[in-house]
Structure 1
Amino acid sequence: MPADPVTLFLCGDVMLGRGVDQILPHPGDPVLRETYVSDARSYVGLAEAVNGAIPRPVDFSWPWGDALSVLDEVAPDARVVNLETSATRRGEFAAGKAVHYRMNPANLPGLAAVRPDACVLANNHVLDFGHQGLEDTLDALAGAGLRVAGAGRDLSGARRPATVPVTGGGRVLVFSFGMPSSGIPRSWAAGEERAGVDFVPELSDAAAAGIADRVRQTKQPGDVVVASIHWGSNWGYGVSDEQVHFAHALIDGGVDVVHGHSSHHPRPLEVYRDRLVLYGCGDFIDDYEGISGYEEYRDDLRLLYLVSVEPETGKLAGMRMVPMRARRMRLEHASGKDSEWLRATLDRFSRGFGARVGRQPDGTLTLR
């Protein structure tokens, strides 16, 4: 009998720092060094001005809201999130950065509430408070029993995939790496004796071949491989030819799912050789409510991706996307109107990749 498909929960950026950290039970130091905002609590005020009062402190499960009941119903085999914040009380503000994210490690139950199987860390905020902040983040996540990928105390640790056992004997292997196009400074790259992130300096054939070689050395029959990539700009639906070529090269080299993130809203998706490419998942949890300037992208709308993969072949067996909306720093089910806006937008920009997006009566989006 063929093995049952392996179901993955994937999402975009999870930012539990700054304003979100301030509403959780153990708010950290609110001081910021941004051009216009010096106190993280100001972001709470912006959200409240738009959507109403937020009770404080909230329960640790609050930011995830209705997403938790969806995940409880689906019971995915592996849950993968991009944790785009440091978890530390210490460290200096990283120089040359306009925005810094950190959460109090005492608020990590707010991350554990979604029961992540892998936290990918190769992004442009994990070293916002320097190597001290990264060390604290790695210690805090290890202490909470959470697997990580994409950052480590040296290059070997940063490149080590998160390994998630799956019922039936297989595994989900999550490789995490980031690129300068997402804002990761080159100085954050891990070295042989230096902590940092798995940094890929360019979208080259050589870089893709190097990752593929690591995949081949690790992958066993029945394993599902996810390449989680922090790349690209924050806004817009464009995907460069270089990104497409790189994603295809990864799949040609043994990757089963390309999990792209960094954009603040969902970007096009593609099925290449029967395998899924998500060029940008959009934000999932953040404190952006009330910030104006990019309303055309509806960044208050979020997607929860549920991806099913055949473990024997790595082929896509199915995918559903559950539309959510951020309101009062909590995820709730999107309205029918908002779900249709997401469907139409994703469908329009994914057509060039041969993908079409449909919608079920319950508002769930599907890949056609």
Structure 2
Amino acid sequence: MKPSPLKLLFVGDVMLGRLVNEVLKGKPPAYPWGDTLSLLRDTDVRICNLECVLSDWGTPWSATPKVFHFRSDAKNVQTLTTAHIDAVSLANNHVLDFEYEGLFHMMNTLQEAGIHYAGAGVTLREASAPAIWSVNGKTIGLLAFTDNEPAWSATDEQPGVWYVPIELHEKRAEQLFEVVRRTKEDVDILVVSAHWGPNWGYVPPVEHLPFARALIDAGADAIFGHSGHVIRGIEIYKDKPILYCAGDFIDDYAVDEIERNDRSCVFVVETDGAAISRLFLYPSVIQQ
């Protein structure tokens, strides 16, 4: 019998802090998703980059200079669960905005809500560990890394993010590729999330192309990139999708009239067994 197709959905940065947090004090948890909610609920796997701290604890990060600190009330984890979000990337430049206390509270909040996460942890071992779960008889894996905020790099003794420079032969990059190879042995579909590159610009940085392809060569089935605020193009490499940057999906940011960071897509990848068969893009606009 031919296996049923599996639909994996990706949306870019989900930032529930600042004005979004204020709105959620008077609106239902589903409100920020607008009319995309039915699309999210109609897929099998839903993954986003959580671009804020979900916590009621912690004080703003002050060890190194930082302009923006994004935090949303812990109760707003319901905004994720109401959309049936399965997993989030925590490897980004806002996960420690409210120090380690905020990170630990957020990880506990996500665990209690049944949401998987990858990319941050109490140690490097934990930050570089995959999130693995099963859906419709298929095992899904998520790895998440970032080239942002090197000061937040997790170590054997320090909590933080899985920091990896985008340099093919750098030691930490080689360790990433090895983790991808090992993880692929245990899962049917492996997604690698990359919070990488500078803000703005529709063209992927030149170093991202060989790096993303190397991740697929190592065993990744899909590359889920984000961080740049705008969509940076898609490549199909060896029949596998590379989303170089998925753009912003929920936030309160000022809109650049040229770059139009309020415009993005819901990305849906359909599998045929363990192979990627189709990719759908559903345009979206942030309305405030």
TM-score range with shorter-chain normalisation? Answer: over 0.9
Separation (CA, whole Å) in 1 of partners of 2:153 and 2:251: 25
Is residue 2:150 matched to residue 1:186? yes
Q: 2:270 aligns with which of 300, 304, 308?
A: 308
Residue 66 (structure 1) shift: 0.7
Q: In the TM superposition, what whole-angstrom CA distance separates every residue of 1:181-239 from its partner, at most 9, and x where no partner exists? A: xxx32121111122111110332234443223212222247611101000012211122
Partner of residue 87, structure 1: 54
Please state how far the C-alpha of 1:296 moved relative to its aligned partner: 1.1
Residue correspondence of structure 1 range 119-198 to structure 2 within 5 A: 119-168=88-137, 170-179=138-147, 184-198=148-162
Indicate yes or no: 2:283 matched with 1:323. Answer: yes
Contact kept in structure 2, 1:165 and 1:172, CA below 8 Å: yes
Q: CA deviation at 1:2?
A: 4.1
**Is the strand fraction higher in 1 or 2?**
2
Number of residue pairs aligned between Structure 1 and Structure 2 = 285
Q: What is the TM-score of this pair, normalised by structure 2?
A: 0.94
Q: Secondary structure, in 3 states, of the residue corresponding to 1:241? A: coil
What does 1:197-346 correspond to in 2, within 5 Å? Answer: 197-206=161-170, 207-220=172-185, 223-288=188-253, 291=254, 294-312=256-274, 314=275, 316-328=276-288
Kindly state the Cα deviation for residue 175 of structure 1 after the two structures are TM-superposed: 0.4
1:104 aligns with 2:73: yes
Runs (5+) with no aligned partner, structure 2: none
| Contact 2:200-2:230 at 8 Å conserved across structures | yes
Structure 1 gap ranges (5+):
26-56, 329-368
Partner of residue 49, structure 1: none
* Structure 1 residue 93 displacement after superposition: 1.4
CA distance in 2, matches of 1:217, 1:160: 11
Post-superposition Cα deviations, 1:21-58, rounded to whole Å, max 9, x if no partner, equal: 11113xxxxxxxxxxxxxxxxxxxxxxxxxxxxxxx11
CA contact (8 A) 1:209 1:253 kept: no
Whole-angstrom distance in 2 between the partners of 1:84 and 1:263: 12
Contact 2:49 2:90 in 1 (8 A): yes
SS in 2 for 1:255: coil
For the residues of structure 1 that align with 2:40 and 2:204, how far apart are their CA atoms? 30
Answer with 1 or 2: which has the greater Rg: 1
